[in-house]
A = this chain, B = another copy of it.
Amino acid sequence: MRNLNSVHLNGLRALEAVGRLGSLQAAAEELGVSIGAVSQQVIKAEAQLDRTIFERTPKGMLATEAGAPLLAALNEGFAHLSRAVALAQRRDDSILTISVAPVFAARWLVYRLDRFAEHHPDINLRMDATMKLVDPALCDVDIGIRVGDGRWPDVKAELLLEQEVFPVCTPSMAERLREPADLLALPAIIDGRAMFGWDVWMRAAGLEGAALETRHVFNDASLCLDAAIAGQGVMLAWQTLAGYALQQGQLVAPFGIRARTGFGHYFVTAHGVREPKKVRDFKAWIRAEMAETLKLFI
């Protein structure tokens, strides 16, 4: 398609519009420019193609014999391009595209999707699981949920939940514990990627300076939780990570001492954009479900 390099695409479009509509006036109206602009483009394009495409008559522009097949092919080309643009511009408003961290999806959201479908049968959810912060203004994501300090200047961050961490282990392990300091005797399961450490909890538990024996280190919080469920040790988890396992009785949170990390779960949307109803509905639903989760921690 290198031959397209020798002619301006805007000129080809001018040719096509004039050919289809029969006059500079009509073409100018469709293209949204002045008659002089279309005239210049047609003349320039004819020169670039080294062809006379139109015969100028007092009643308007008539395609020459040589020009007619060219205009037919141009019409077909621009019709396809127009269809392509229409395809891109059509918004399927029934699809809500969300972006969440994989661990949030796997440990909290995926268990609730059936209830979302029940509450909002008109909304089709499309989930993009990535840890990267997304800017909904720059991609076709409607809303994101991320954990962090919320200080992201390029997006609008709205606090959903303050993150609190607490130790979790199997019930049988917990039976051996009489006081918080007894936790120090248990092997610790460490999330190498966590944005916080045990020291945050130690302070809250009055055990500042104390440490646990590290048994396992993973680079994925979800794997850590699996290891805790398997009885491998104690893990410092947070609400959305451990909520389901607590509810199912697979894990317990001994002593109920919780510490705030300073981070939070945030809704991430685009600056200065009026939120569509489906986004507002989703946020409201997420808040209601989060309230249900928090009942575990009263």
Contacts and interface: CB of A to CB of B under 8 A. Distances in A.
A3 B86 contact: yes
Contacts of A2: 30, 32
A293 interface: no
Given A9-B9, A74-B84, A3 B89 contact: yes
A143 interface: no
A31 interface: yes
A91 to B, nearest CB: 8
A66 interface: yes
Interface in A116-134: none
Contact of A87 (B31, B70, B79): B70
Contact of A3 (B10, B73, B82, B140): B82
A52 interface: yes
Nearest to A20: B1
A89 to B, nearest CB: 6
Given A9-B9, A9-B10, A88-B51, A1 B73 contact: no
Interface residues of A, number: 44
A70 B140 CA distance: 14
A256 interface: no
B87 A69 contact: yes
Contact of A52 (B13, B80, B138): B138
A1 B87 contact: no
A76 interface: yes
A49 to B, nearest CB: 4
Interface in A1-16: 1-7, 9-10, 12-13
Contact of A1 (B4, B82, B138, B140): B82
Given A2-B32, A3-B86, 13 more contacts: A3-B89, A4-B78, A5-B32, A49-B89, A50-B88, A50-B140, A51-B88, A70-B87, A73-B80, A73-B81, A77-B77, A77-B78, A77-B80
